[in-house]
Structure 1
Amino acid sequence: MKRTTVSIILLLLLIGFAASSQDFFLLPHNFYVKKGDKLNLHLLSGNEFKPENEFQFATAKATKFMLYEGSKKTDLSKSGNSADSSLLTYTLQNSGLALFELVREDETESERNKFLRNLESEGLDKMAEDAKASSQQYFVEKYHRYVKTLIAVDKANGKDFDKPLGEDYEIIIQQNPYKAAYGDDVTAQVLFKGKPIKDAVVIQYVRTINGTIVPLKLITDSSGLVFFKLSREGVYMISSTHVEPSQDKKADYESWSATFTFAFSNTEDEPNTYREFGFGNKH
């Protein structure tokens, strides 16, 4: 039943690709899988949790691609490409929590208004105001993307998913959402070059089965922490971006962004009414 709800969410997410945008995020075809299952993993980009592009491994520009199962680490960059549009098709061999991570680096040139909109959509109002003061019509941005997704294989047991991976910019969640109940709190921490970053803008999205996207803007405290509740069933994404003027003369700005996706389902036993997903009392 969890398989069905999360798969329907994915189907809704995969509709209507158009143009590139700022957020990159990993999305498995199913967040609840069994040992021995083949997992299809997607790398998507889009604004406000609305996918606009999908990338195969050949176009992902990945500098690192890893699977973490507790203390076990698997380098997925040598796993071969998926035959379809997925980033990866992988047979899961261990039970428990599995954390996928991809690091992507590139640079892009954006038209002035698009660049300003991207800054504003990430809540970077001060940086947007500074950019508006410039007469430039195009901005070159050097970016670093750190994307994670957490899934449950058979059981939601596992550890080390809440440990830093040593990236320049990353989001860590401190509770296991697959063992949580409706209304439980989740604490997320944002680290920049290994240290908690204060006053970072964090956008927490949840996308329900009927396609409703609910965003919540948060600001990190002095320990780099933000707090939110699991208030709806669906797919969650935590997103944060840090932008600075570039020290590289070939670029105007340098950005570091991180996303973390996972699913939350409040009901363990069938039947499930799907009421929250807009299907009334259908089972």
Structure 2
Amino acid sequence: MKYTCTFLLFLFVISAFTASAQSSYLLPEKFYLQKGEKLELHLLQSEDFNKQSDLKYLPAKTAKFILLQGKKPVDLKPMAKDTGKVVLSYNSPEAGTTLIDLVSTTEANEMSRSKFLRGLDEDDPDKIADKVKSSNQLYYKEKFTTYMKTLFINEKDGGSAFTKPLGDDYEIVIQQNPYKFNYGDDLSALVLFKGKPAVAAEVDMFVKTADGNTFPQKLSSDASGLIYFKLSREGIYILRSKHFEISKDKSADFESWRTTYTFAFSSNNELPNTYREFGLGNKH
């Protein structure tokens, strides 16, 4: 099968639990690579659909940056660029379905009590807000780690290495290859926290279509840590989730783990191939 569809950068609403929060994600310029093409990878951060920024790659904050296709992962850290645009230019990888995983750490981020509560009120499964409201503390520190995955194909859609957990503290593991599936097919993904199924984990899914529309859906993992969703529209898919706990580290009050996952789906492999055609403007 020939893959001719090219996807350039586009933007999702991927705020953590509030519209003012920001999330980071990986996005290749092309999810469908042809023979001999380079992989151009971007690291993005966003608040909403109208505001986006390229996120500079920070080697000192990068715990892991790998490409996984076969049995042995490729370490991408020596090849990465500390720029705010293309963070990686990688000569055409082996043919097949390819996963990239980047883990980024941060120091504790201090914020006011009111700002911290605004970020919790919308979605607070661990009832952190109740603990904050009962306290007189004025400022809080949050320490967080971000786990980013993106799945693309080069020439063909073979391989299943991406269906295996990578050992990240918080990760989403897609169980089937979306590039082999058809419109309306069901997919499942496993949500893991520190190697164990995350029960009742809330996962947001967004689909960005070629006409510029975005379709959100809220998912929740079952007792086995699995979420289920359909390939209901052609476009770019993003899954994102966040886990929050009271920190055991004295350098912060709370700790969070944030995970995002991007991939593309097209039933006929012929979607618009420019950033502008997705209704977002030609930034790059």
Q: Does the alignment reach a TM-score above 0.5? A: yes
- Structure 1 position 196, deviation (Å): 0.3
- Asked if 1:98 is matched to 2:98, the reply is yes
Inter-partner Cα distance in structure 2 for 1:239 and 1:48? 14
> In the alignment, what sits opposite 1:37?
37
Q: 1:131 is paired with a residue of what secondary structure? A: helix
Inter-partner Cα distance in structure 2 for 1:69 and 1:121? 38
> In the alignment, what sits opposite 1:259?
260
Inter-partner Cα distance in structure 1 for 2:270 and 2:250? 58
> In the alignment, what sits opposite 2:15?
none
1:263-278 correspondence to structure 2 within 5 Å: 263-268=264-269
Contact between 1:34 and 1:153, CA under 8 Å: does it hold in 2? yes
> In the alignment, what sits opposite 1:190?
191
- Please tell me the residue identity of whatever aligns with 1:95: A
Inter-partner Cα distance in structure 2 for 1:213 and 1:141? 30
Identity between Structure 1 and Structure 2 (%): 47
Query: Which segment is superposed worse, 102-111 or 59-68?
Result: 59-68
Contact between 2:169 and 2:192, CA under 8 Å: does it hold in 1? yes
- Structure 1 position 85, deviation (Å): 1.4
- Structure 1 position 160, deviation (Å): 1.4
Q: Runs of 5+ in structure 1 lacking a partner?
A: 14-18, 279-283
> In the alignment, what sits opposite 1:207?
208
> In the alignment, what sits opposite 2:140?
139
Q: Judging changes above 3 Å, is the alpha-carbon distance between structure 1 residues 136 and 167 closer, same or farther for their aligned structure 2 residues?
A: same
Q: Which residue of 5, 30, 42 corresponds with 1:3?
A: 5
Contact between 1:182 and 1:266, CA under 8 Å: does it hold in 2? yes
Per-residue CA deviation, residues 157-192 of structure 1 (Å, 9 max, x unaligned), is 111110000111110000111011111111011111
Count of residue pairs brought into register by the alignment: 268
> In the alignment, what sits opposite 1:26?
26
Q: 2:179 is paired with a residue of what secondary structure? A: helix
- Please tell me the residue identity of whatever aligns with 1:69: Q
Q: Judging changes above 3 Å, is the alpha-carbon distance between structure 1 residues 238 and 83 closer, same or farther for their aligned structure 2 residues?
A: closer
Q: 1:170 is paired with a residue of what secondary structure? A: strand
- Structure 1 position 38, deviation (Å): 1.5
Q: Judging changes above 3 Å, is the alpha-carbon distance between structure 1 residues 80 and 216 closer, same or farther for their aligned structure 2 residues?
A: closer
If the length of structure 1 is used for normalisation, what is the TM-score? 0.84
- Please tell me the residue identity of whatever aligns with 1:165: L
- Asked if 1:224 is matched to 2:251, the reply is no
Per-residue CA deviation, residues 73-115 of structure 1 (Å, 9 max, x unaligned), is 1100011417661221111231001100000111322333443
Q: 1:161 is paired with a residue of what secondary structure? A: helix
Q: Judging changes above 3 Å, is the alpha-carbon distance between structure 1 residues 49 and 146 closer, same or farther for their aligned structure 2 residues?
A: farther
> In the alignment, what sits opposite 1:250?
251
- Structure 1 position 21, deviation (Å): 3.3
Contact between 1:234 and 1:265, CA under 8 Å: does it hold in 2? yes
Contact between 1:70 and 1:97, CA under 8 Å: does it hold in 2? no
Q: Judging changes above 3 Å, is the alpha-carbon distance between structure 1 residues 40 and 133 closer, same or farther for their aligned structure 2 residues?
A: farther
Inter-partner Cα distance in structure 1 for 2:272 and 2:115? 46
Contact between 1:239 and 1:257, CA under 8 Å: does it hold in 2? yes
Contact between 1:187 and 1:226, CA under 8 Å: does it hold in 2? yes
Q: 1:57 is paired with a residue of what secondary structure? A: coil
Contact between 2:96 and 2:156, CA under 8 Å: does it hold in 1? yes
> In the alignment, what sits opposite 2:67?
67
> In the alignment, what sits opposite 1:157?
158
Contact between 2:11 and 2:49, CA under 8 Å: does it hold in 1? no
Query: Which segment is superposed worse, 263-272 or 251-260?
Result: 263-272
Inter-partner Cα distance in structure 2 for 1:162 and 1:82? 29
Contact between 2:57 and 2:83, CA under 8 Å: does it hold in 1? no
> In the alignment, what sits opposite 1:176?
177
- Please tell me the residue identity of whatever aligns with 2:129: A
Contact between 1:70 and 1:161, CA under 8 Å: does it hold in 2? no
- Please tell me the residue identity of whatever aligns with 2:189: A
Query: Is the helix fraction higher in 1 or 2?
Result: 1
- Structure 1 position 59, deviation (Å): 6.7
- Structure 1 position 2, deviation (Å): 4.8
Q: Judging changes above 3 Å, is the alpha-carbon distance between structure 1 residues 265 and 188 closer, same or farther for their aligned structure 2 residues?
A: same
> In the alignment, what sits opposite 1:87?
87
Q: Judging changes above 3 Å, is the alpha-carbon distance between structure 1 residues 101 and 49 closer, same or farther for their aligned structure 2 residues?
A: farther
